[in-house]
Structure 1
Amino acid sequence: MLSEFMKSINYNFKDTDLLKRAFFHSSYAHESKLDPIYSNERLEFLGDAVLELIISDYLYNFCPKLPEGELTKFRASLVCESSLAKKALTIHIGKYLYLGKGEELSNGRQRESILADTFEAVIGAIYLDGGIEEARKFLWYIFKENIEQGYNFLNSGDYKTYLQEIIQKTNKDGVRYEIIDEKGPDHDKTFVAQVFDDNKLLGEGVGKSKKDAEQNAALNALNAMGIK
């Protein structure tokens, strides 16, 4: 099974026991009466630091014109729990987890927090087994498309398209916009737009045209999500 996983991430471990430990959830270690250090929590601790360093380095070099605040928000959108859980699903981490009975019965293989933590543990394991460059290759393989798309959209100013791309990953219908107010005379109107994910309000924006109001609503939605 581990050979199948290694093929999916394009990295072959020299120490497969290290990789196996990355999948040991604390509930499994506890029920198996293993020393707590044999769960994946120490690898997760290390992987978290490696992840932040490498993603920060990528963004610093890939986005030379973005200021510190924008870089911080961009990084946060990539390394947040929900993002990491989605990445874990793409490489089927849940399939390889060792869980205690309680976690197994409560759908732990699909739990966002467990998937994200295990993803970080895998990063830690790759770092220990192959060094920083192998960890860097793995993370570029995983995040390359997100970094390139995010940078292009953020620089184009097309916030509506970027927001739509993000929401459609979980809601195929995407977002909808409503013009909720118009102010001023016909020759100098100001419009107020809101953007929704189903019935959830994501953001509100103001503009001198309906299009500008919608773009600003999308921008404020991205800000609220910690992305822009």
Structure 2
Amino acid sequence: MSPDTDKLQERLGYRFQQPELLQAALTHRSMGGANNERLEFLGDGLLNFVIAEALFRLRPRCNEGELSRLRANLVNRGSLALISRDLGLGEWMRLGGGELKSGGHRRESILADAVEAIVGAVYLDGGFEAAVALLHRLYAARLADLPDVESLKDPKTRLQEYLQAGGKPLPEYELLQITGKAHEQSFRVACRLQGHDFYGEGRSGSRRKAEQAAAEHMLQLLKGKS
């Protein structure tokens, strides 16, 4: 990693009084010794609180479950990785040889963890208000354009609610096939409804995701036939 983090600090909109904290936040455990895991833990707690408070103020009509879904959408690994890529964090990450060779500076989990670690580092360096201000900057566009809450429900939940609204029985999920080696299995699942001869089908690397895909397919079939 380049020792010059001036450009990164400009992108963050924050200047560290203790540059070693930023260095620690950018150090992956593959380097051995001190790394960013403790800072990540701290930043995760701050992130969840600050985003929860922002959503509480922005969506006064949302209930607890809806607020939780919105927050989960904003603080999940994918969202954090997108923020990390916007900042170009991969350029400054300190990774061990193995991670460097395998492209760790592009790995979603490493990038997401680094964002949380930086939040923790800013808190230790500048205090709570500095960390809050950083998160508001990083999330400004996302908080200004929040998704529709209904769109955040997973397919199995949406299918269940759709069926219950029509007084219909709940679906059943059947594992049709498992293929591939133990470390890279593929699951094929069917979603069946009582009284229907058609079924939804999904395939994924985990049974849970395959069930979600099957539920989504079943929803499409039902809405297409209604």
Q: TM class, shorter-chain normalised?
A: 0.5 to 0.7
RMSD: 2.7
Code of the aligned partner of 1:19: L
* Aligned residue pairs, count: 164
CA distance in 1, matches of 2:82, 2:214: 23
Q: Does 1:61 align with 2:64?
A: no
Partner of 1:88: 84
The alignment's TM-score, normalised by the length of structure 1, stands at 0.65
CA distance in 1, matches of 2:133, 2:58: 15
Q: Does 1:137 align with 2:133?
A: yes
Q: 1:93 to 1:202 in 2, by over 3 A?
A: farther
Q: CA deviation at 1:82?
A: 1.0
What stretches of structure 1 move > 6 A for 4+ residues in a row?
none
SS at match of 1:135: helix
Code of the aligned partner of 2:17: K
Selected match of 1:14 from 7, 17, 35: 17
CA distance in 1, matches of 2:24, 2:78: 23
Q: 1:202 to 1:123 in 2, by over 3 A?
A: farther
Q: 1:90 to 1:209 in 2, by over 3 A?
A: same
Q: CA deviation at 1:142?
A: 1.2
Q: CA deviation at 1:63?
A: 1.0
Can you give the 5+ residue segments of structure 1 that lack an aligned partner in the other structure? Answer: 31-35, 160-199, 214-228
Can you list the C-alpha shifts for 1:193-220, whole angstroms capped at 9, x where unaligned? xxxxxxx7783547x997xx8xxxxxxx
Mapping of residues 1-228 of structure 1, within 5 Å = 1-28=4-31, 30=32, 36=33, 38-150=34-146, 153-154=148-149, 203=216, 205=219
SS at match of 2:145: helix
Can you list the C-alpha shifts for 1:65-116, whole angstroms capped at 9, x where unaligned? 1100000000000111111111100001111011000000000000011001
Code of the aligned partner of 1:131: G
Percent of residue pairs bearing the same amino acid type: 36
The alignment's TM-score, normalised by the length of structure 2, stands at 0.65
